[in-house]
Chain A
Amino acid sequence: MEDNIKNFLDKVDQLKSDNLKVNTISKNSEIDCESLTFKQQKDIISTITEGITGPLKFQKNLNDIIVENTKDKELKVVDKLLIILQLRKDSVGTVVKLKNNKYDVLNDIIEKAKKLSPKLSKSIKGAISIELEVPTLISESQVINSCIDSVKKDSDKEVGKSLSDIYTFEIVKYIKTVSIKDDVLNFQDLSVRDRVKIVNNLPLSINKQIVDFIQDIKQAELDALSFDTESGESTLEIDVSFFDS
């Protein structure tokens, strides 16, 4: 019996690794990717019950799945959308649901997402200079973990505090270095908690420039996710329901 199970699981593994190739933005090339497993799909869907940390865990799950299935630790946050769209197409199909209607739009959305070419880095010069860089999925997950801990700690306080935490952590993810004159702080060498302290003390004008950099990337992704419906333009939401067949 054990042999039989092993043979079957070997066959499943072979099947998973045989099939899928996914496009990436940061590498501008196709890479091998194993299909989403039922367990992974279940894990994604289960984040719906996690309250305010649910969306954070959802993002972390997506990162973990991409890294596990592609075996590529260098992939960046900008690769996430395109890979997830392709994984979803492979596992659940191209039809998406919106307000009880079904639309076969995923192929078109994937084609639009393939054309995204976000800036992967930016320098902000001034008394405080900042190097911004789109984070890898792994480093984003690290920050998300800290953010989840922080939000959990604050869960007894008001929701506004949790949202403000999430906003700060989002900025933290994209900072590579902060320099004041000759002093350079490499964010990768600091704990996430220290990075948050520094971001909280940055001048508002710098924060705004960081947010603009992030916003440009997010807005381009949102544009790619838009599609026409009979009641006008809609945007495909990448949330738990997107993976629920």
Chain B
Amino acid sequence: MRLSFEKIKEISEWLDTNQEIKFCHFLNSFDGENVYQKFKNILIKWEYHVNDFLTFTIDGSQIKIPMYYILQELTDDIETPKVFVNNIFSFELQVPKTFQMGVDHIPIYDLISSISIEDVHLDFKNLDRENKQSIIDKLPANLFSKVLEGLINDSSKIFKLNNESLSKFKINFYTNDPMLFLKNLFSNYSKEYFQDIIFYLSKRMSCDAILYSDIKDIDFYVKKYNEETEQQKNTMPSLDF
């Protein structure tokens, strides 16, 4: 998936006009077996096509963090399923397979990958949502509260950066945090930005070429065009006498 200027423009319009379902489909179209893998691949693409840095606004001041550092800290431990054992009952939790729209909390049945009671094991991965829901509904609430307890106390799925100024920055992969983070990321570019770029660069380039470029290309062309314009200004014959 290329994050072209045209694609970023389109996504920006979706987000401006509350078409979250399209955004959600877009995120889910990235490679990866789960939200963690998709999330990481999106950031890799972002680093390649859009920006090498992420800018965080903390308490009014802006902090630039290199994307390579974020990708380096985003370790695969997050996607390792976590097993909880409680007497005769055990269950395995994992990050959800896909991004979900319009929810603050991911349904619990999308986080459970298997449940065992004594010697009977049930793999949730291949069950449809209806079956998952009906099994969870029938679980005794005391067993279910163990699942919830496991979920709430499991910090292994929370991504944090070892940076004091970013201590408030957390992405919990058991929740819809990754989706919200990406929504903010893709909301960085306003309608005016796209208007300005097309108006400015179209004097020098075809619109097709602009739309096909990625944001990093655009930044490069703007810089080059600025230099060119500046140079032209300097080589213009002076009318001063």
Contact = CB atoms under 8 A, between A and B. Distances in A.
Contacts of A12: 117, 135, 138-140
Interface in B133-172: 135-145, 148-149
Interface string A25-44: 00000000011111111100
A42 B145 CA distance: 12
Range for the number of chain A residues in contact with chain B = 20 to 34
A114 interface: no
A7 interface: yes
Interface in A1-51: 1, 4-5, 7-9, 11-13, 15-16, 34-42
Interface in B186-200: none
A196 to B, nearest CB: 36
A40 B142 CA distance: 12
Interface string A205-224: 00000000000000000000
B126 interface: yes
B117 A38 contact: no
B63 interface: no
Interface residues of B, number: 23
Given A5-B127, A5-B131, A11 B117 contact: yes
B127 A39 contact: no
B122 interface: yes
Main SS at interface, chain A = helix
Contacts of A245: 145, 148-149
Contacts of A1: 126-127
Contacts of B149: 245
A234 interface: no
B112 to A, nearest CB: 12
B115 interface: yes
Given A5-B127, A37-B139, A38-B139, 14 more contacts: A8-B135, A12-B135, A15-B117, A15-B143, A16-B140, A35-B140, A37-B138, A37-B141, A38-B140, A38-B141, A90-B142, A91-B142, A92-B142, A245-B148
Interface of B: 88, 115, 117-118, 120, 122-123, 126-127, 131, 135-145, 148-149
7 contacts: A4-B122, A7-B120, A9-B135, A16-B140, A38-B140, A91-B140, A91-B145
